[in-house]
């Protein structure tokens, strides 16, 4: 416990009061973290791949305050199509504004803080078995409100659902599948090597949904429970979040009475190398507080914290 507390103190974020200037060793999409405990850097070498370092956990979200919040936005504020996906995305953005250490990634066996908050998700152009699937990347500022997230998500999803190749990923994927299999495997290996040294071509990096803060997936739209989704060795996504359909549960209230509850289960797979367990747990406690009081998302955070250098 003492070791965890000391690590938490060393990795505590600072107020965002200055603009960081890139230094040798930084990457195009992030800056190198240089002030952590030595064991943090050893872990990035001992576990060189993300699937070596996957931690799995699940939490249940009480839907009562969120459903009330969603109904208000839809019926009183006219936010058509507003739903849980908007709320959970905005809640993660807000959590990252207070716990920026979660926006780290490992590349080239080194630890970096990502310059932007980037969410990736897959979108079906049509909800059929043969419907084309594509990926989109959403970039958020840490001070964004639920209204910003709602507008940006809807615009990106609507654009991605248009027929044909409409996203950068569509265009890159279409070009790649024309290659013979052996050449494609060699190309992917080359991209991995270039990414290791931080010199992957920008057009590939920008199109890749595997270069992001979070990968988020909504299985609730399919009416099934969530899965524990692996994180990819290609790219640098450190966290994969999947949530499922609404569930019914029963629990005792403060007076000992059995009450009926509606939940959504969320399952997370995270790269344990980006921070210690104490910090990770505290970050998701912040997230759960936000989801219990989603109205805080209507306004920007009082302050935005900056990760350690």
Give the max Cα distance, the chain. Answer: 67
Please give, one letter per residue, the 3-state secondary structure of 161-220: CCCCCCCHHHHHHHHHCCCCHHHHHHHHHHHHHHHHCCCCCHHHHHHCCCCCCEEEEECH
- pLDDT band for 251, please (50, 70, 90 cuts): confident
Number of helices (H) and strands (E) in the chain: give both, helices first: 9, 11
Q: Is 140 helix (H, G, I), strand (E, B) or coil?
A: strand
CA atoms in the 13 A half-sphere facing the CB of 64: 7
Determine what percent of the chain is predicted with pLDDT higher than 90: 73
Exposure string over 100-134, b if 16+ CB within 10 A, otherwise e: bbbbbbbbbebbbbbbebbbbbebebeeeeeebeb
Residue 5 has pLDDT above 70, yes or no: no
Q: What is the pTM of this model?
A: 0.88
If you compute the radius of gyration of the chain from its CA atoms, what whole number of angstroms results?
Answer: 20
d(CA 299, CA 292) in angstroms, rounded, equals: 16
CATH fold of 2-306 reads Chloramphenicol Acetyltransferase (3.30.559)
> If you average pLDDT over residues 269-283, what whole number do you get?
95
- pLDDT band for 161, please (50, 70, 90 cuts): confident
Q: Tell me the backbone φ, ψ of residue 220, rounded to 5 degrees.
A: -60, -30
pLDDT in tens, 35-76: 999 999 999 999 999 989 999 999 999 999 999 999 999 999
pLDDT of amino acid 6: 43
pLDDT of amino acid 29: 94
265 contacts 225 by C-beta, under 8 angstroms: yes
More confident residue, 305 or 249: 305
Residues 6+ apart with CB under 8 A from 1: none
> If you average pLDDT over residues 266-283, what whole number do you get?
95
- pLDDT band for 15, please (50, 70, 90 cuts): low
d(CA 32, CA 20) in angstroms, rounded, equals: 11
> If you average pLDDT over residues 205-222, what whole number do you get?
92
Residue 7 has pLDDT above 50, yes or no: no
Residues 6+ apart with CB under 8 A from 140: 93, 116, 117, 118, 119, 148, 149, 152
pLDDT in tens, 108-155: 999 999 999 999 998 888 777 777 888 899 999 999 999 999 999 999
pLDDT in tens, 82-118: 999 999 999 999 999 999 999 999 999 999 999 999 9
d(CA 153, CA 103) in angstroms, rounded, equals: 20
> If you average pLDDT over residues 214-220, what whole number do you get?
93
Angle at 198 between CA 204 and CA 89, to 5 degrees: 60
pLDDT of amino acid 116: 95
d(CA 91, CA 105) in angstroms, rounded, equals: 20
Residue 256 has pLDDT above 50, yes or no: yes
Tokens of 276: 């210690």
Q: Is 266 helix (H, G, I), strand (E, B) or coil?
A: strand
d(CA 76, CA 89) in angstroms, rounded, equals: 21
101 contacts 307 by C-beta, under 8 angstroms: yes
Please tell me the least confidently modeled range out of 114-128, 164-178, 283-297: 164-178
Residue 294 has pLDDT above 80, yes or no: yes
- pLDDT band for 18, please (50, 70, 90 cuts): low
Residue in the block written with tokens 């504020």: 77
Give, in order, the Cα–Cα distances in Å from 141 to each of 39, 96, 148, 241.
31, 10, 9, 20
- Going by their DSSP bridges, the two strands 54-62 and 110-114 should be labelled as unpaired
pLDDT of amino acid 11: 43
> If you average pLDDT over residues 148-175, what whole number do you get?
86
């Amino acid at each position: 416990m003492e070791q965890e507390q000391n690590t938490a103190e060393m990795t505590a974020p600072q107020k965002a009061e200055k603009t960081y200037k890139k230094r040798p060793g930084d990457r195009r999409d992030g800056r190198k973290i240089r002030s952590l405990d030595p064991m943090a850097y050893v872990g990035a070498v001992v576990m060189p791949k993300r699937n070596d370092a996957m931690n799995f956990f699940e939490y249940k979200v009480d839907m009562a305050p969120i459903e009330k919040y969603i109904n208000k936005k839809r019926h009183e504020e006219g936010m058509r199509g507003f739903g849980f996906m908007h709320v959970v995305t905005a809640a993660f953005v807000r959590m990252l504004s207070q716990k920026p250490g979660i926006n780290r990634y490992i590349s080239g066996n080194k630890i970096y803080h990502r310059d932007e908050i980037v969410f990736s998700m897959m979108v079906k152009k049509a909800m059929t078995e043969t419907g084309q699937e594509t990926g989109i990347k959403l970039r958020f500022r840490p001070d964004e409100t639920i209204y910003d997230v709602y507008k940006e998500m809807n615009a990106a999803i609507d654009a991605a659902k248009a027929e044909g190749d409409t996203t950068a990923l569509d265009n890159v994927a279409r070009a790649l599948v024309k290659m013979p299999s052996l050449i494609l495997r060699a190309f992917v290996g080359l991209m991995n090597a270039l990414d290791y040294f931080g010199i992957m071509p920008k057009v590939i990096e920008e199109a890749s949904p595997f270069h992001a803060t979070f990968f988020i997936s909504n299985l609730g739209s399919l009416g099934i429970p969530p899965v524990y989704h692996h994180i990819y060795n290609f790219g640098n996504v450190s966290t994969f979040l999947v949530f499922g359909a609404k569930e019914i549960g029963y629990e005792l209230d403060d007076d000992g009475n059995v009450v009926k509850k509606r939940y959504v289960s969320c399952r997370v797979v995270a790269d344990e190398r980006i921070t210690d367990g104490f910090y990770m747990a505290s970050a998701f406690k912040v997230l759960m507080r936000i989801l219990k009081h989603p109205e805080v998302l209507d306004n920007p955070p009082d302050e935005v914290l900056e990760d350690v250098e």
